[in-house]
Amino acid sequence: MKKVERINTMMRYINNRAHFTISEIMREFNISRSTAIRDIREIEAMGMPLVAEVGRDGGYFVMNNSVLPTVRFTDNEIKALFIAFMATRNQQLPYLKSRHSLAEKLLGLISANQQDDLVLLNQILLFEGTNPHNPDLLDLSDLPHPMLETLIQLLLLDRYLLVSIQEEQEMRAYPIYLLHLYREKSVWLMEGFDLEEEKRRIFPVDHLTGVEPFPVKKRVSKKKILEQVNKQEEAVNLVLELGPKAIGQYKKYHPLNISLFYTNPYQTSARLETFIDVQNSEELSETINWLLFLGGDIKVREMPEEVVEGMQERLTLYGSSFGLGRA
């Protein structure tokens, strides 16, 4: 019997008895005394209120009238939680180890029939990023960058940060007010307002080597920061109308700063308006790639010349690579 299965069965065994001893646990589950004690400690850590009785005939009993609330889930709620866990596997999410213990607690709360349903769901449902040869709910192989959880813990207390970033051959420190922490194209990114140069910056969390609160005396008020951010908002220079196929491509992937609004109630047509910084070569190249990814189901209402020329060059390059356009 696997440890998770043994712990879940043991929790039900304990919950159905007014009193139990270590010896009874050892016999029932065919385990050593040290393993039984270790399992009971884990069950206590999960929140089951156990009380130890001292003496030769001592043992344990579950505390009645505990202050801990009783948690009950419907069948559909359990499936919703389980499927949410499945859908976020291999996503480099923070607190992944805590999700592991949360899954164990969830499994310990439900009946054997409900557990069988979840096992079946785990066998037949596959999501993007799932390894079909190892579709394990409790797989912890895809841990995020270790600085991610540290960063989040600090952000819950303070958004004024001094971040140390590894840039090519040197280390640099930036005082920032963090605007957003987000994940795009499998990479965690920080978007912050540089308090010294008074402009937005975006850093990959993978390049983060240190983070600490920024001294209070050197801070600018949040109100002034947001005023500066609003002033720096650029005018729209890319306007597209999307048909259903392009909308489908958009849903598969789109840059975080590009959004659309639907122009009919069936969501089969939409309009996209944004600003492209054509002076930023990396942003220009990524935008061209993404527009080509959208496909031909778009109508251009406004587009910078640099984007048009870049798309034409890219299409010419693709044509020559595949031998198109030759005599």
Residue type, 260: L
Distance, CA of 222 to chain centre: 27
Residue type, 315: L
Q: What are phi and psi of 5, to 5 degrees?
A: -65, -40
Element housing 55 (H / E)? none
192: left (phi over 0), alpha (psi -120 to 50) or beta: beta
CATH of domain 3-62: 1.10.10.10
pLDDT per residue as tens digits for the range 114-169: 888 888 888 888 877 666 666 555 455 567 888 998 999 999 999 999 999 988 77
Task: Give the pLDDT score at 327.
Answer: 46
| pTM, rounded to two decimals | 0.58
Through-space distance between the first and last CA atoms of the chain, rounded to whole angstroms: 70
Q: What are phi and psi of 144, to 5 degrees?
A: -75, 175
- Least Cα distance to 195 among 226, 223, 220 occurs for 220
Q: Which fold has domain 147-231?
A: SH3 type barrels. (2.30.30)
pLDDT per residue as tens digits for the range 96-111: 777 777 777 777 778 8
Task: Give the pLDDT score at 311.
Answer: 92
Task: Give the pLDDT score at 130.
Answer: 65
Is the C-alpha dihedral spanning 6, 10, 13, 15 positive or negative? negative
Distance, CA of 41 to chain centre: 30
Q: In 3-state terms, what secondary structure has residue 100?
A: helix
Task: Please give the full DSSP string across 128-184, using - where no structure is assigned.
Answer: TT--TT---TT---S---THHHHHHHHHTT-SEEEEEEEETTEEEEEEEEEEEEEEE
Q: How far is CA 105 from CA 2, 3, 40, in A?
A: 15, 13, 14
Using alpha carbons only, how large is the chain's radius of gyration in Å?
Answer: 28
Task: Give the pLDDT score at 87.
Answer: 81
Task: Give the pLDDT score at 68.
Answer: 45
Task: Give the pLDDT score at 62.
Answer: 76
Three state DSSP letters for 276-306: CCCCCHHHHHHHHHHHHHHCCCEEEEECCHH
- Whole-angstrom distance, CA of residue 232 vs CA of residue 199: 8
- Whole-angstrom distance, CA of residue 193 vs CA of residue 202: 9
- Whole-angstrom distance, CA of residue 23 vs CA of residue 313: 77
Neighbour tally for 148: CB within 10 Å? 22
Element housing 78 (H / E)? helix 75-87
Question: Hey, what are 98's tokens?
Answer: 């805590």
Q: Which of the residues in the chain have pLDDT under 70?
A: 54-58, 64-72, 129-142, 232-234, 320-327
Locate the domains of the chain by residue range.
3-62, 71-143, 147-231, 238-321
Q: Length of the chain in residues, anyone? A: 327
